[in-house]
Amino acid sequence: MEQTKPQVFIRTHFDLCTGCALCKTACSMHVFGGYNPNKGMLIIRHLWENLAHIPVVCQQCRNAMCMKVCPVKAIYRDEQTQAVVIDQKKCISCRLCSQYCPLGVIHRDLETQKAYKCDLCQGNPQCVQVCPFGALELGQENRQSGE
């Protein structure tokens, strides 16, 4: 099926990443109302004693396994942004989605036990806003959905 709307996604440039975690921290504020990068929806893998930092963000997969494995269909594609979004109200905390995310960017919140993932901040991702070096940038493309 051909999509007519451009899909927003976040492009990463690890060579520009300094590991400052501003992105994760801004993300946690957006999602939870307070700062804690451990609760952000993206990951930075610090390699070689900080010689390299690899940001890992949700790809809003064309073929989203998390969406397919969700037993209660709490995960769906948002009409506006084409982001793969979790409806926390429907989530039953079964953890299948995080098991089937190969990037490891679906988190189970310790307090609510619900699954959380990047929803692109309704199309205006805060992580991209705060990145000082352009390691994260907004991309758009027409992509074929695998649904």
Partner 1 sequence: MAQSYMNQILHIELSRGSFNAFEPPAWMFDDYLGGKGWGARMLLDIVPEKADPLGPENALMFLTGPLTATLAPAMRACVVTKSPLTNTFLDSYFGGYFGPEIKYAGYDALIFTGKSPDPVFLQIDHNGPGLVPAHDIWGQDAIKSNQSIKAKLGDDNFKIATIGPAGENQVPFALICCETNRQAGRGGAGAVMGSKNLKAIALKGNKLVKIHDHKKFNLALSRANKEIYDSLDCQGLMATGTAGSVEFANETGLIPSRNFSDGTSPLAAKLGDKGQSQKLWLSRSACFGCPIACSQMGAVRTGRYASFVTDIVEYETAAMLGTNLEIGDPRAVAHLNRLCDELGVDTISAGACISFAFEAAEKGLIESKDDLKLEFGNAKAAADLIEMIAFGKGHLGRLLSQGVKRAAQELGPEAEHLAIHVKGMEMPAWGPRGTPGMGLAYMTADRGACHQRGFPAGYESTGMEWKGKPVKALELEGKAELVFSLQNYLAGTDCLVKCDFGAMGVSPETYALLLNAATGSDIQASFFDELGERIWNVTRIFNLREGMDIRDERLPQRFVEEPLPSGPHKGHHITEDDMKYLLKDYYQIRGWDENGSPSLETLQRTGVRLEKKFKL
Binding site for partner 1 (CB under 8 A): 15, 18-22, 25-26, 28-29, 32-39, 46, 48-53, 110-111, 130, 132-133
Q: Which is nearer to partner 1, 81 or 126 (CB)?
A: 126
CB atoms closer than 10 angstroms to residue 19: 15
Q: Least distance from C-beta 49 to partner 1, angstroms?
A: 5
- In sequence order, the β-bridge partners of residue 76 are 85
The contacts of residue 33 (CB under 8 Å, 6+ apart) are none
Q: Which is nearer to partner 1, 5 or 13 (CB)?
A: 13
- In the chain, the N- to C-terminal Cα span, in Å, equals 8
Q: Which is nearer to partner 1, 2 or 49 (CB)?
A: 49
Distance between CA atoms of residues 115 and 113, nearest Å: 7
Q: What H or E segment, with its residue span, contains residue 127?
A: helix 126-130
Q: Least distance from C-beta 25 to partner 1, angstroms?
A: 6
Q: Least distance from C-beta 69 to partner 1, angstroms?
A: 25
In the block, tokens 């504020």 appear at: 29
Q: Which is nearer to partner 1, 26 or 83 (CB)?
A: 26
Q: Least distance from C-beta 144 to partner 1, angstroms?
A: 36
